Chain A
Amino acid sequence: MTTDIAKPGTPTKAVTKKVRRATKATKNRGAVLFFIAPFSILFALFYIVPILVAIYQSMLTVEREGTFGKPTEVFGGFVQYARVFQDDAFWSSILRVLSFGVVQVPIMLGLALLLALLLDSPLVKGKRFFRLAFFAPYAVPGVIAAVMWGFLYSPKLSPFTAITSEINFLGADLVLWAIANVVTWVFVGYNMIIIYSALLAIPSEIYEAARLDGASQARIAWSIKIPLITPAITLTAIFSIIGTLQLLAEPQVFKSFTSAVTSTFTPNLLIYSTASVPNVNLAAAFSVVLALFTFALSFTVLKFTQRKAD
């Protein structure tokens, strides 16, 4: 994680650097402040303060004097969190996005890896065209992609009515996987480009010897290329896991195509509908638990892949 790519021709003189830096530190306080202040202030205001406010709000609970009394917010400790842990809708939405992720993320990243390896191999002609064609869906915002696929799944308006009039992609059984297909369609190209950039950065001398020994492209890909690009694959995996747990736009759009998508379909949909009840304190507690869950999961993946690499 910490090895930087040093450009050839940039001598790294660790010793002189250290001496120079020590003098710089005192001299340039004003400049450093100028460089870091704008980002740090905004980061504090729009990342740290909201998180603190959400935690604070999640500790409050609403009390009323009598049935029609004025509601007052009082400190309730972990009352909201107790509700979160007893909320079946919340946990089944978490389970739903987890099962979504277990299937969709490997398919998406596997396809992205396969396409990146093919683009990097001498097997394929017209690379420039394919790269752009596969990346194009990334220019389609999730909401728009969902609207578009909603038409493509429609039993009457779809270009593939032969299939969609027979199979109901928007029914309760398949709608989760219909959404998985939309997400895959948008993000394969994006992940492919990240992996492909990592492949391009491998000097070809590294597998020149294997080629001369007659190793096939598949063998070179499996034994040499994939181990070298593991950091890039890890990065895409973490971003995909985060994206899965935060699924919102696509199911929100699908709600207007089918009643199979409820307002508690994914954790974020539940947070949104809870907040608009309005039960802001419970919604804040959901948000905090979801954020911690996301953080823990991506951190675990990071640690797991790092240990494997060692």
Chain B
Amino acid sequence: MSATTTRVKKNHGPRESLFSRAGAMLVMAICTFYFLVPIWWLFVAATKDRADFTTSAPLWFADFNLVENIVNLANYRDGLFFQWMLNSILYAGAGAAVATLFATMMGYALAKYDFRGRETLFNVVLGGVLVPATALALPLFLVFSQVGATNTFWSVFLPSIVSPFGVYLARIYATSSVPDELVEAARIDGSGEVRTFFTVATRLMTPAMVTIFLFQFVTIWNNFFLPLIMLRDEKLFPVTLGLYIWNSQVNQIPEIRAYVIIGALLSIIPLIIAFLSLQRFWRSGLGTGALK
């Protein structure tokens, strides 16, 4: 926030006209409506029982049945939905944590050490940034089926711990925020290279690491094609794939619609919590990536 407040204080220039300020606020109001109404609708719909869902006004509450709906969802098919939520948290949480560690180590090495083939290595990784995850889903399936490892936890988990974009961010950030002098000082104090990284560098690189973690967390959480291709056992599904399957069954099993809606609402809560709690880190980290 500090950047914004200093900027406001410095406004000695001409006052903006009432007309342009009103126009700006009108644009903001319309956009707020556009972006928030669908989420509001989802929240309201999740609080209704089946009868109210079709008969009451869609954007306002009828009888408040949110808790009952969640309980029903938890009881439906032995809590399969919460198994999916847990799977997603494991795929995304553990996957993003490991991806962040490896990408930061790689980025740090590319920024702070001179070794043969460094630029080639970096360029290959940069090429990886331009290869979209969906394009790799089928090739990954071919690889995993060669070793008979499709339809396993690892077939979805292992590919998601590689983040070329993370390496790119980490390298830029390490170059600009970990001074060579500091690394050298640690070296003179007798600290090993690896220890210096874990005690000194990671502390300075925290904003970049949080950004990489969040990016990867969202990427894995939203990942759909890879689990769709890899998994048959519904006990291994992430929440996106599970809700997709349920949604495609709504025509055959009408009562499932209520579970899709309440499940959709619950599935976005972990991401909102992650973004809100880590806000001050990722905002500064994103700026680094965009400016270069």
Q: How far is the CA of A191 from the CA of B114 in the complex (A)?
A: 35
Are B286 and A275 in contact, with the CB atoms below 8 A?
Answer: no
Tell me the bound Cα distance from A127 to B110 in angstroms.
Answer: 38
For B11, give its contact among A5, A122, A283 (CB under 8 Å): A122
Q: Is B51 on the interface with A (CB-CB < 8 A)?
A: no
The residues in A between 166 and 186 inclusive whose CB is less than 8 angstroms from any CB of B are: 185
Provide the bound-state CA to CA distance between A113 and B240, in Å.
30
Binds A, one of B64-72, B75-83, B169-177: B169-177
| CB-CB under 8 A for A284 and B142, given A42-B102, A140-B268 | yes
A252/B244 in contact, CB under 8 A: yes
Contact with B along A25-55 (1 / 0, CB 8 A): 1001111101110111011011101110110
B34:A185 contact, CB within 8 angstroms: yes
Any A CB within 8 A of the CB of B253: no
Interface flags for A186-210 (1: CB within 8 Å of B; 0: not) read: 0011000111011011001000100
Assess A130 versus B272: contact at CB under 8 Å? Given A158-B58, A256-B248: no
Q: Which residues of A contact B143 (CB under 8 A)?
A: 46, 49-50, 53
Bound CA span A137–B7, Å? 28
User: Which of B31, B197, B224 is within 8 Å of A248, CB to CB?
Assistant: B224
Contact of B21 among A123, A135, A218 (CB under 8 A): A123
The residue from A30, A36, A126 contacting B105, defined by CB atoms under 8 A apart:
A36
Q: In chain A, what residue has the closest Cβ to B126?
A: A1
Q: Which residues of chain A are within 8 angstroms of B39 by Cβ–Cβ distance?
A: 136-137, 140
Q: Are A253 and B247 in contact (CB under 8 A)?
A: yes
Near A by CB (< 8 A), chain B positions 208-263 give: 218, 221-222, 224-225, 228-229, 240-241, 243-244, 247-248, 250-251, 260-261
B162 & A42 in contact (Cβ 8 Å cutoff): yes
**Chain B interface residue count: which class?**
35 or more
A194 and B134 contact, Cβ closer than 8 Å, known pairs A143-B240, A148-B38, A253-B244: no
In-complex Cβ contact of A275 among B138, B247, B289 (8 A): B138
B window 19-44: CB within 8 A of A: 20-21, 24-25, 27-28, 31-32, 34-39, 41-42
Asked if A159 lies at the interface with its beta carbon under 8 angstroms from chain B, I say yes
The answer on a CB contact under 8 Å between B35 and A232 is no
**Cβ–Cβ contact B176 & A142, under 8 A:** no
Contact B132 A246 (CB under 8 A): yes
Q: Which residues of B contact A6 (CB under 8 A)?
A: 176
A38 touches B28 (CB 8 A): no
Chain A residues with Cβ below 8 Å from B142 are: 50, 53-54, 57, 280, 284
Contact A39 B167 (CB under 8 A): yes
| Contact between B135 and A248, CB atoms less than 8 A apart | no
B106 located at the interface, meaning its Cβ lies under 8 Å from any Cβ of chain A in the complex: yes
CB B155 to nearest CB in A, in angstroms, measures: 11
Closest residue to A189 on the B side, CB-wise?
A: B35
Within 8 A of A (CB), among B275-289: 275-276, 283-284, 286-289
Given known A-B contacts A47-B131, A50-B142, A280-B142, A151 and B45 have beta carbons under 8 A apart: yes
- Take A124-B24, A197-B283, A204-B7 as given contacts and tell me if A141 and B221 are in contact as well, using a CB distance cutoff of 8 Å: yes
Mask of A232-269 contacts with B, CB within 8 angstroms, 1/0: 10010010001101101100110110000000000010
Hey, which chain B residues are within 8 Å of A43, CB to CB? 124-125, 128, 162, 164
Partner of A231 from B125, B130, B161, B292 at Cβ < 8 Å = B292
Candidate in A51, A135, A139 with the most chain B CB atoms within 10 angstroms: A139
Stretch at the interface among A76-84, A101-109, A292-300: A292-300
List residues 95-141 of chain B with CB under 8 A from any CB of chain A: 101-103, 105-106, 108-110, 113-116, 121, 124-125, 128, 130-136, 138-141
Query: B158 interface residue, CB < 8 Å from A?
Result: yes
Which of the residues B41, B113, B184 comes within 8 Å of A25, measured between beta carbons? B113
Given contacts A42-B158, A47-B162, A195-B290, contact A159 B193 (CB under 8 A): no
Q: Does A17 contact B (CB under 8 A)?
A: yes
A-B contact list, 16 entries, CB within 8 Å = A4-B292, A7-B177, A32-B115, A53-B139, A121-B16, A122-B11, A133-B32, A135-B275, A142-B224, A151-B41, A197-B284, A200-B4, A242-B132, A248-B224, A252-B244, A256-B250
Q: Ordered nearest first, which 10 A-B pairs have the shortest CB separation?
A: A211-B13, A50-B139, A31-B193, A197-B287, A35-B109, A159-B58, A54-B139, A123-B24, A39-B106, A139-B271
8 extra A-B contacts, CB within 8 A, seeds A42-B161, A130-B28, A134-B35:
A25-B114, A29-B115, A38-B101, A39-B103, A124-B28, A253-B244, A256-B251, A283-B138
